[in-house]
Amino acid sequence: MGRYIASRLIQAAVVLILVTVITFALIHLAPGGPSAVLTDARLPPELIARQRANLGLDKPVYVQYFKWAGGLVRGDFGISYTDQRTVLSEIRQRLPNTLILAGTAFLLALIVSIPVGIFTAQRARSVPDHIVSGISFIGLSTPVFWFGIVLIIVFSVQLHWLPASGMRTINEPNSLADLLKHLIMPALVLAMPTMAQFSRFVRASVLETLNQDYVRTARAKGLAARIVTYRHVLRNALMPVVTIIGLTLPVVVTGAAITESVFGWPGMGRLAVDAAFTRDYPVIMGVTVLVAAAVILINLLTDLLYMAIDPRVRLR
């Protein structure tokens, strides 16, 4: 078990290093990279040379990489091209907003999909099951930004219930109610694909457990249906759900970037989208590496957590 943990840790570290190498190489080896953005080709050549030297762009690429990667370790993500602030302070300012949005969406997805998955598994191939499966298929096929626009049309334009964009009402004291009013639509939009994916997964997992011998045995010995469901089925069926939390994280982060742009939510995803427009490479690289690190970490944690709660994995 110790060896398994060690090998998983090493694997995660290798993948993280590769992520930084790929991100860096992609940006610095391509035409249109930092030197193209920071040095105006119309300037006299000696000025360009001086500017490249100032920015360290004249050094070999691997030297530049180690300088950048060394900074990452110390929490130094570089300085934004567009507003000269450190990338870290930009991220720090936006990250809580993204966590509020993504966290709410994630909870929403779990709260809805677990009961729905259990319900449909118990009534597999019934009419309600078909309806739910159809809805989740459509949910997986709907682009989040369009779902966002449709909600804005219904709840902001037609019904005037909810604000169409932003995180807080300007010129009004911050209040939780105000925040919630702004949060409902983006959180629902972001939760939709995850909800669809989770409920399909929970349904499949519960269905598989229902066919196990020990469930039949429990029923055969006359246990109440409710006890069989909670003690024998759910306990086992919901364990694999832990693993997909890590797998859906990239979906949630991607969705967050798009959702934030639709609703003008001042989060990290929108920071990255804006940076892509202005070719603000330090910001793009910082956000990308941070997101990838989060994905790797969560996957590692879910693997270890799974091992802790399921003794069968530990034995292998």
Partner 1 sequence: MTTSTTPTETALSGVAYTGAQRGSGRYFLRRMVSYRPGFISFLVILLLYLLAFVGPIIYRTSPNEIDLLNLLGRPSADHLLGTDENGRDILARLLDGGHVSLIVGLIAVILADTVGVLFGAFAGYFGKAIDSILMRITDALLAIPSFFLLLVVLSLFGPSLTKLEVAIGLTSWMSIARLVRSEFLRYKETDFVQAAKAMGASDLRIIFRHILPQAVSPVIVASSVLVGGAIIAESALSYLGLGVQPPQASWGNMLTGAQNFVFTEPALAIYPGLLIVITVASFNYFGEGLRTAFNVSE
What residue ranges bind partner 1 (CB under 8 A)?
A: 11, 14-16, 18-19, 22-23, 26-27, 30-33, 124-125, 129-130, 133, 137-138, 140-146, 149-150, 152-153, 156-158, 164, 197, 200-201, 203-205, 207-208, 240, 250-251, 253-254, 257-258, 261-262, 272-273, 275-277, 279, 281, 284-285, 287-288, 291-292, 295-296, 299
Shorter beta-carbon distance to partner 1: residue 1 or 157: 157
Q: Which two tokens stand for residue 115?
A: 């009961």
Question: Least separation, in Å, of the C-beta of 288 and partner 1?
Answer: 5
**Cβ-based neighbour number of residue 46 at 10 Å:** 8
Question: Least separation, in Å, of the C-beta of 222 and partner 1?
Answer: 28
Shorter beta-carbon distance to partner 1: residue 129 or 223: 129
Nearest CA among 252, 244, 246 for reference residue 268: 252
Nearest CA among 257, 147, 154, 261 for reference residue 195: 147
Question: Least separation, in Å, of the C-beta of 66 and partner 1?
Answer: 18
| Burial class of residue 261, CB neighbours in 10 A (0-12, 13-18, 19+) | middle
Shorter beta-carbon distance to partner 1: residue 35 or 50: 35
Distance CA 289, CA 297 (A): 12
Nearest CA among 87, 69, 88 for reference residue 18: 69
Provide the CB-side half-sphere exposure for 189 (13 A, CA). Answer: 30
Shorter beta-carbon distance to partner 1: residue 51 or 261: 261
Question: Least separation, in Å, of the C-beta of 221 and partner 1?
Answer: 27
Shorter beta-carbon distance to partner 1: residue 151 or 218: 151
Shorter beta-carbon distance to partner 1: residue 49 or 293: 293
Quote the longest CA-to-CA distance of the chain: 89
Question: Least separation, in Å, of the C-beta of 96 and partner 1?
Answer: 19
Distance CA 261, CA 185 (A): 13
Distance CA 183, CA 176 (A): 10
Question: Least separation, in Å, of the C-beta of 254 and partner 1?
Answer: 4
Shorter beta-carbon distance to partner 1: residue 221 or 312: 312
Q: Which two tokens stand for residue 311?
A: 């003794």
Question: In the beta sheet, which residues pair with residue 72?
Answer: none
Question: Least separation, in Å, of the C-beta of 106 and partner 1?
Answer: 15
Under a CB-based contact definition with an 8 Å cutoff, are residues 77 and 286 in contact?
yes
